[in-house]
Amino acid sequence: MPKQSFLKGTIILTAAGLITRLLGFINRIMMARLMGEEGIGLYNMALPTLFLMYTLSQVGLPIAISKRVAEANAYQDRKKVKTILVVSLTITGSLSVIFICLMIFLSPYIANHLLTDNRTLYPLLAITPMVPISAISAVLRGYFQGLQNMKPQSYAQIIEQVIRIGCITFFVNLLLPYGVEFAAAGAMFSVIVGEFVSLIFMFSYFKTSKKIKVRKQFFSTLKASKTTVQSLLSIAIPSTGSRLISSLSNFLEPILVAQSLAIAGFSTVMATKQYGVLTGYAIPLLFFPTFITHALAIALIPNISEAEAKQQHRTVHYRINQAIRISFASGAIASVVLFLFAEPILMFMYNDTQASYLIQFMSPFFLFVYLQFPLNATLQALDFAKVAMWNTLLATILKYAILVVLTIQPALGIFGTVIALSASAIFTTLLHYTSLKKLINFHLSFHDLFKMLLLVLLTYITGKILTSWFPLYQDNVWLLVILIAVMIGLYLIYIFALKIITLQEIRPLIRKR
């Protein structure tokens, strides 16, 4: 099975991530135009419950599988790799059955009492079959990541989005006459179909490329797997803690927002619409650059795990620094573009500009979110998952304290939630960085920090100059595209001129490092 270098693996995942995000935006635009703010609000209120359930069913195993497979593969221990797969599939399969039953049983209570909108029941029930599908997919992704082969999951991501686009219009249009809640359920079902087809693809890829026969002596392998179980759970449980905190946070967020807006005097329909504007329009645009940082994080875990297993501490520090620089470079241009052009981008995409002030406020703070991914991945790869978990917990507590205090203020409303999300982004990233500094003596030099700030300043000034040269960009989508393209071209020049990314680092893309 082909193994890619760190940067090659990152580029493959980044390219797939870019295509996936673009296709995802097509999905969101279609949903927004078909279902409106209310439908998007119902969809996004139900989604965090799914994330919570499959976080529980996966118990942090994808990261543990990636790390342990990378370590075993470094010593060509195929028997160990097989045991890891057998144990992982058994655990996730068993837990999936439990949580499907739990989700079906609890959905009416969650919809009626926690989310304060009984219409969310239909999308909650519609998404239930996703739990076992995503659990098995997660095991296969962890396996391929551990082998540092990023192609299968990259292809699977694209396939999933293409299938989803094909289904979304059909199911939403089919069910919309019965009510917006049924349309949201149709959108959820489209997600399931896309995920299921991508799972079939990954399973087929696994069967044709594997050198391990999982079904052969499955139960005897399982019986002799006590050490492997302990090895996986030593990473999986703390990692689950971190993911569980994030999933619980996402699960509680729409509940707290809905309850806080109700206290502030907003009606149920208005609260759902406001949450739809934030999570359906603003957040997806702000998270767009994370396809690069997420790719870096995935590639970092097996790469750093292998380097640490071989006691290559210098390589570990270099990879962290490299990932931070690339993450910042990918996020800085997005932050500046969204700050300057939030309103025309929203108008051309959704024919709605209500989220523009939210995006402009949050875009500078989301630079911290972009840096979070590689820092968190490094802590996981170095067996400091417990530290990452406590950092996430502290940041989540802070977020909710600010969210409730501010969102219940009628003058702020949903903007109180925006302030809370921004504060949490800063706090989490600083905690992760401080932890790495303390644990492995990693630090960013003042010189690197200065160059990063200078990059943002130069990009912002460039954007302001270009907007004065092309004043009609707000009314002409192609003029806006050209303006942003020119900005990106100049931005790439700044990156290499400031040596935030160097030509030497690009050479491994055509040969293994």
> Do residues 289 and 164 share a domain?
yes
| 141 inside domain | yes
Q: Report residue 35 as tokens.
A: 């279902």
pLDDT at residue 132 greater than cutoff 60? yes
Instruction: Name the domain boundary from 401, 429, 444.
Output: 444
Domain that holds residue 471: 445-513
Calculate mean pLDDT across residues 245-256: 75
Q: What is the mean pLDDT of the chain?
A: 79
> Do residues 136 and 98 share a domain?
yes
Identify the weakest region by mean pLDDT among 50-59, 184-193, 370-379, 431-440: 50-59
18-62 pLDDT tens trace? 777 777 777 777 777 777 777 777 777 777 777 777 677 766 677
Q: Please report how the helices 313-350 and 290-309 are oriented relative to each other, as an axis angle in degrees rounded to 10.
A: 170
pLDDT at residue 330 greater than cutoff 90? no
Calculate mean pLDDT across residues 393-419: 87
- Output 465 or 443, whichever has higher pLDDT: 465
> Do residues 376 and 487 share a domain?
no
- Output 90 or 239, whichever has higher pLDDT: 90
- Output 208 or 424, whichever has higher pLDDT: 424
| 152 inside domain | yes
> Do residues 345 and 470 share a domain?
no
Check if the beta carbon of residue 293 is closer than 8 Å to that of residue 366: no
- Tell me, what's the pLDDT at 509? 44
| 488 inside domain | yes
- Tell me, what's the pLDDT at 210? 61
Q: Which of 362, 256, 401 is nearest to 264 (CA)?
A: 256
> Do residues 452 and 375 share a domain?
no
H-helix segments, 351-384: 356-362, 366-381
Per-residue pLDDT band at 208 (split at 50, 70, 90): confident
Please tell me whether residue 115 adopts helix, strand or coil conformation: coil
> Do residues 28 and 64 share a domain?
yes
| 480 inside domain | yes
Number of structural domains the chain divides into: 2
Single-letter amino acid, residue 495: I
> Do residues 493 and 456 share a domain?
yes
| 10 inside domain | yes
Q: Which of 405, 389, 400 is nearest to 424 (CA)?
A: 400
> Do residues 164 and 39 share a domain?
yes
> Do residues 363 and 502 share a domain?
no
> Do residues 329 and 450 share a domain?
no
> Do residues 418 and 474 share a domain?
no
210-230 pLDDT tens trace? 666 655 555 555 555 666 666
> Do residues 180 and 303 share a domain?
yes
Distance CA 394, CA 508 (A): 38
- Tell me, what's the pLDDT at 458? 93
| 1 inside domain | no
| 44 inside domain | yes
Instruction: Name the domain boundary from 396, 415, 444.
Output: 444
pLDDT at residue 309 greater than cutoff 70? no
- Tell me, what's the pLDDT at 386? 80
Calculate mean pLDDT across residues 378-393: 81
Instruction: Name the domain boundary from 391, 414, 444.
Output: 444
| 493 inside domain | yes
Stated pTM of the model: 0.66
Calculate mean pLDDT across residues 322-339: 86
